[in-house]
């Protein structure tokens, strides 16, 4: 990318206003900066990854729709919502000479993200914010939202994608690659579990976040209260199971997605319990009996799905997720698969946690 963020940032500011631009966060898809103007509020500047999101106008339409909902009612998030900021010339995004779309969002002062969850209280806060998000956005009719990323979290689609790149790949006899592929092969029958239940009418679509990993949860400065979820590109109709599974695979894995020692990857049951407790304190009434019966499967499936996505991207030559070195996506896949193993080993305990936090299941 040769377009400079400094050059684009000016388009969101009054003519002649001074400002500073610095990189922000470590998302794997879009590129993100924080802009600090001399005389106005700081904002987040993002270049949308066009390979992943070919329809930025759909994202903007969804952001506007949910922003109106959040500000229109009694929504806890309103105060900390990352509102879309229009460029000086109007519209939603600035188009650069290379066809890239850039947008600005309100920067939430006094907030931070956590590298890892350190206390039970933080875990409960994470669950609560996700539950409150589902409860609040559940009031929006799915039909009013665009599909900003078709087939996102449709696990059988990712498996088919892996099979396609695998058929064309060379070097498949590398032992760690072989092991990762075998890991997936042993779980093929499980991959469609949520999509089958959806097709059978057991699980229904609701407005979801799509990417509620720990890095997308804003806390207050003290790291005690979760203020809101950010990174709203994938807010669209989906299963709440995708979000619950994604949140738990991220938050219950202390060593993160790229640890120095993948062998140390572990699924923290106490955090899982606290997050689900927080979630249900806000969203219990949303969940049907069928929703509840599929929670363990969701917790197992989403890290498996992410591992499949990382593995397919490794075989495709690292075209989707940002990497720092060749082999990183394979490593990331192995970490997710280790997490799946931990979840499988703890199946009985996880099912007990789910049942205990949902007494009506017993
Ligand atoms: C991507 O952009 P970012 O880093 O928030 C990905 C998620 C993955 C996540 C893993 C649109 O999210 O699905 O869970 O990486 N987002 C998209 O870190 O594919
Ligand atoms: Mg994201």
Task: Give the Å distance between the CA of 29 and the centre of ligand 1.
Answer: 6
Which atom of ligand 1 sits closest to the CA of residue 29?
2
Structure tokens at 127: 């669950």
- Residue whose CA is at the smallest distance from ligand 1 atom 18: 28
- The pick from 149, 210, 211 for probing ligand 1's pocket by mutation, whose C-beta has the most ligand atoms within 8 angstroms, reads 211
Instruction: Give the span between the Cα atoms of 96 and 160, in whole angstroms.
Output: 34
Position 359 confidence tier, pLDDT thresholds 50, 70, 90: low
Task: List Cα–Cα distances, 21 to 14, 80, 103, 105, in angstroms.
Answer: 16, 22, 14, 14
| pLDDT tens figures, 225-267 | 999 999 999 999 999 999 999 999 999 999 999 998 888 999 9
Which atom of ligand 1 sits closest to the CA of residue 210?
13
Give the SS3 label for residue 123. helix
Would the pLDDT of 362 be above 50? Answer: no
Would the pLDDT of 358 be above 90? Answer: no
pLDDT of residue 32: 97
What residues does the ion ligand 2 have nearby, CB within 5 Å? 211, 231
Is 0.95 exceeded by the ipTM? yes
Instruction: Give the span between the Cα atoms of 207 and 311, in whole angstroms.
Output: 28
Residue 359 is classified by DSSP as: G
How many helices (H) and strands (E) the chain has is answered by: 12, 11
- Residue whose CA is at the smallest distance from ligand 1 atom 5: 27
pLDDT of residue 190: 98
- Annotate 89-104 with DSSP letters as a single string: T-SS-EE-TTS-EEEE
| pLDDT tens figures, 175-219 | 999 999 999 999 999 999 999 999 999 999 999 999 999 999 999
- Characterize the bridge pairing of strands 31-37 and 43-47: antiparallel
The set of protein residues with a Cβ atom below 6 angstroms from ligand 1 is: 27-29, 52, 211, 213, 216, 231, 234, 257, 306
**Which listed ligand is nearest to 322 at the C-alpha?**
1
Which atom of ligand 1 sits closest to the CA of residue 233?
11
| pLDDT tens figures, 17-50 | 999 999 999 899 999 999 999 999 999 999 999 9
Instruction: Output the average pLDDT for the chain.
Output: 95
20, β-bridge pairs: 36
Task: Give the Å distance between the CA of 33 and the centre of ligand 2.
Answer: 15
Instruction: Give the span between the Cα atoms of 237 and 141, in whole angstroms.
Output: 9
Residue pair 75/65 in contact (Cβ under 8 Å)? The answer is: no
Instruction: Give the span between the Cα atoms of 218 and 325, in whole angstroms.
Output: 29
At residue 99, φ and ψ (nearest 5 deg) are 90, 5
Would the pLDDT of 319 be above 70? Answer: yes
Which atom of ligand 1 sits closest to the CA of residue 306?
14
Residue 208 is classified by DSSP as: E
Residue pair 146/62 in contact (Cβ under 8 Å)? The answer is: yes
| pLDDT tens figures, 46-91 | 999 999 999 999 999 999 999 999 999 878 889 999 999 999 999 9
Instruction: Give the span between the Cα atoms of 182 and 176, in whole angstroms.
Output: 10
């Amino acid at each position: 990318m040769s377009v400079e963020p400094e050059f684009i940032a000016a388009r969101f500011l009054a003519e002649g206003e001074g400002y500073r631009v610095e990189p922000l966060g470590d998302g794997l898809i879009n590129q993100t900066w924080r802009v600090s103007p001399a005389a106005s509020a700081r904002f987040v500047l993002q270049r949308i990854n066009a390979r992943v999101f070919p329809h930025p106008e759909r994202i903007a339409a969804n952001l506007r729709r949910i922003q109106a909902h959040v500000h229109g009612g009694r929504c806890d998030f309103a105060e900390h919502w990352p509102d879309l900021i229009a460029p000086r010339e109007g519209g939603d995004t600035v188009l650069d000479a290379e066809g890239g779309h850039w947008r600005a969002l309100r920067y939430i002062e006094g907030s931070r993200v956590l590298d890892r969850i350190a206390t039970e209280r933080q875990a409960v806060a994470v669950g609560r914010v996700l539950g409150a998000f589902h409860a609040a956005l559940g009031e929006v009719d799915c039909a009013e939202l665009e599909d900003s990323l078709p087939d996102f979290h449709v696990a059988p689609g990712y498996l088919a994608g892996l099979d396609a790149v695998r058929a064309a790949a060379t070097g498949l006899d590398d032992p760690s690659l072989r092991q990762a592929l075998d890991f997936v092969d042993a779980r093929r029958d499980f991959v469609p579990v949520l999509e089958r239940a959806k097709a059978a009418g057991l699980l229904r679509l609701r407005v979801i976040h799509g990417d509620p990993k720990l890095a997308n949860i804003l806390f207050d400065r003290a790291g005690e209260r979760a203020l809101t979820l950010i990174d709203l590109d994938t807010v669209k109709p989906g299963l709440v199971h995708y979000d619950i599974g994604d949140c738990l695979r991220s938050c219950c894995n202390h060593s993160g997605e790229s640890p120095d020692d993948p062998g140390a990857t572990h699924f923290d049951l106490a955090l899982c319990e606290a997050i689900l407790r927080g979630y249900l304190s806000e969203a219990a009434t949303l969940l049907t009996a069928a929703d509840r019966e599929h929670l363990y499967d969701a917790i197992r499936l989403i890290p498996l799905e992410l591992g499949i996505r990382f593995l397919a991207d490794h075989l495709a030559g690292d075209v989707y997720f940002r990497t720092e070195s060749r082999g990183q996506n394979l490593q990331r896949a192995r970490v997710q698969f280790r997490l799946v193993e931990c979840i499988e080993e703890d199946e009985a305990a996880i099912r007990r946690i789910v049942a205990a936090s949902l007494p009506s299941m017993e």
